Structure 1
């Protein structure tokens, strides 16, 4: 748990619900395994992952932190927008952007060209070593969006080598680690939940952007990919996914991605060994 010392609040979506969403719940994993309790800010609301840069989120953060501390501020580390629309200047002035997910977000906010870029989930291998997961070991893993209805794996791929896992998981570090285990154990990931693709890339597992029932905010997917240095189409089938991966080779782009700029602007100290 985070220290009880007075400091900024840390936000993550669905935090108060029984089941969270894997990508957003990574916030809990960061807090328990990656970040220490020393924060660079004394007040505000900190956002550590996700497509949370929006007018509504900034206004809520500003109002909440202003009431609690008298100094309202929305602080974002490696987060992104859901679209390419700019934000009102008064809201940008209420915010601090400690790196962003990709150039789409950077340009929408009119931030400097040298702004650090990359999704913070790409740092997971630095502090978590996955364990084999028998459910997905050597299989094709299909991860739908958290809002999608239950899927029949046979309708996606009739072979016994496929499995579907929903990203709706408890808001605990252990549940996040278990989902990372599942992704890292798979031989290929078809991701309709974006952070399934992010984690697959981070742990060297081939993956594809999967169309699923629909694509939730295509902007954020392209923003993530361009932040690392690759472009990838959406695939509707496993065969298309393999072909897309072979053409785009995101792993090669990732091998050249420099994590140091993003780490250097982290709002918390990092635990020893990172």
Structure 2
């Protein structure tokens, strides 16, 4: 994965630039240069879902990426994740949105005011219809705007080396990791704080995926693994069901495999029985349109 560690290479100049190169040496010993792609991803905690965006861009373009939060540049692109509200941290950069989502509704005038100040000038695609609906409070958005989480495109660019799992895997969000430690000897508990390549290989090697993580579900969907969302009502994530329902809006139907429990219910939860409720939902959104919408211009 070609990532540029710009945490250690912040520019001291106040000038902005769209062009930064990395240098390598080819098999003949000659220097080669590649222009970086500036994109934004959340990197406060290591989480495979947040790394999918930059990794996918490297797979699609064969170019290295740089986290634009550490650079003084003119333009960046937001991709995978509930990161659109983070745009308020980039007051001086023009922003393209490709498949990103909101974490919760824009039901606060302060949130709307913050986003209005941002330079989001290209909305190429968003994760789902809920994000599209909320952003239409600020921007003129046509209903033909492509929808979908770009992680759904991963099978076109990455074929994982399958592992010898072939049974139930549980994918806790990193906030829920400690709740599932007692099941590590019984089921395959996937640590989302690994690289995307490792997490995807484990999910794709499973018979069933039970997940409290959005991208646990999305990767299972992408690689044709039946899944079930486990919602822990007293340990909900920020925004609760908004981002999940946003993703569900790109699938066919109105009913999805969801089980809501309390954290205390985990002690007696029959995961084998729960796994029988998992399913694979047909995708309604047009993934070709989503891919075609990608642009670095």
Measure, in 2, the Cα distance between the counterparts of 1:229 and 1:100.
Answer: 17
Corresponding residue of 2:7: none
Q: Once the 2 structures are TM-superposed, how far is the Cα of residue 107 of structure 1 from its aligned partner?
A: 0.5
Q: 1:260 to 1:149 in 2, by over 3 A?
A: closer
Q: Once the 2 structures are TM-superposed, how far is the Cα of residue 48 of structure 1 from its aligned partner?
A: 1.6
Q: Which runs of 5+ in 2 are unaligned?
A: 4-19, 22-33, 66-72, 262-268
Q: 1:7 to 1:133 in 2, by over 3 A?
A: closer
Q: 1:94 to 1:124 in 2, by over 3 A?
A: closer
- 1:102-140 deviation per Cα after TM superposition (whole angstroms, max 9, x unaligned): 000000011221110000000000000111223xx1121
Measure, in 2, the Cα distance between the counterparts of 1:43 and 1:104.
Answer: 29
Measure, in 2, the Cα distance between the counterparts of 1:194 and 1:53.
Answer: 16
The structure having more radius of gyration, on CA atoms, is 2
Q: 1:83 to 1:152 in 2, by over 3 A?
A: closer
Q: Which runs of 5+ in 1 are unaligned?
A: 67-71, 170-174, 270-274
- 1:210-263 deviation per Cα after TM superposition (whole angstroms, max 9, x unaligned): 1246332310001001123344252145334532x35xx41xx22x54211111
Count of aligned positions = 238
Corresponding residue of 2:51: 25
Q: Which has the higher contact order (CA 8 A, sep 6+)?
A: 1
Q: 1:163 to 1:43 in 2, by over 3 A?
A: same
Please give the TM-score of this superposition, normalised by the length of structure 2.
Answer: 0.71
Residue 227 of structure 1 is aligned with which of 250, 265, 288? 250
Measure, in 2, the Cα distance between the counterparts of 1:116 and 1:257.
Answer: 8
Please tell me whether the aligned partners of residues 92 and 109 of structure 1 are also in contact (alpha carbons under 8 angstroms).
Answer: no
Measure, in 1, the Cα distance between the counterparts of 2:159 and 2:177.
Answer: 31
Residue 142 of structure 1 is aligned with which of 144, 152, 170? 170
Measure, in 2, the Cα distance between the counterparts of 1:38 and 1:138.
Answer: 34
Q: 1:20 to 1:155 in 2, by over 3 A?
A: closer
Q: SS of the residue aligned with 2:191?
A: coil
Corresponding residue of 1:206: 226
Q: Once the 2 structures are TM-superposed, how far is the Cα of residue 200 of structure 1 from its aligned partner?
A: 0.3
Please tell me whether the aligned partners of residues 77 and 97 of structure 1 are also in contact (alpha carbons under 8 angstroms).
Answer: yes
Q: SS of the residue aligned with 1:82?
A: coil
Measure, in 2, the Cα distance between the counterparts of 1:263 and 1:197.
Answer: 20
Corresponding residue of 1:166: 191
Corresponding residue of 2:38: 9
Please tell me whether the aligned partners of residues 90 and 118 of structure 2 are also in contact (alpha carbons under 8 angstroms).
Answer: no
Q: SS of the residue aligned with 1:118?
A: coil
Please tell me whether the aligned partners of residues 118 and 228 of structure 1 are also in contact (alpha carbons under 8 angstroms).
Answer: no
Measure, in 2, the Cα distance between the counterparts of 1:219 and 1:189.
Answer: 21
Corresponding residue of 1:242: 276
Residue 203 of structure 2 is aligned with which of 164, 167, 183? 183
Q: 1:73 to 1:185 in 2, by over 3 A?
A: same
Measure, in 2, the Cα distance between the counterparts of 1:261 and 1:129.
Answer: 22
Corresponding residue of 2:80: 49
Q: Once the 2 structures are TM-superposed, how far is the Cα of residue 44 of structure 1 from its aligned partner?
A: 1.5
Q: SS of the residue aligned with 1:181?
A: helix
CA root-mean-square deviation:
2.9
Q: SS of the residue aligned with 1:94?
A: strand
Q: Once the 2 structures are TM-superposed, how far is the Cα of residue 75 of structure 1 from its aligned partner?
A: 1.8
Please tell me whether the aligned partners of residues 9 and 43 of structure 1 are also in contact (alpha carbons under 8 angstroms).
Answer: no
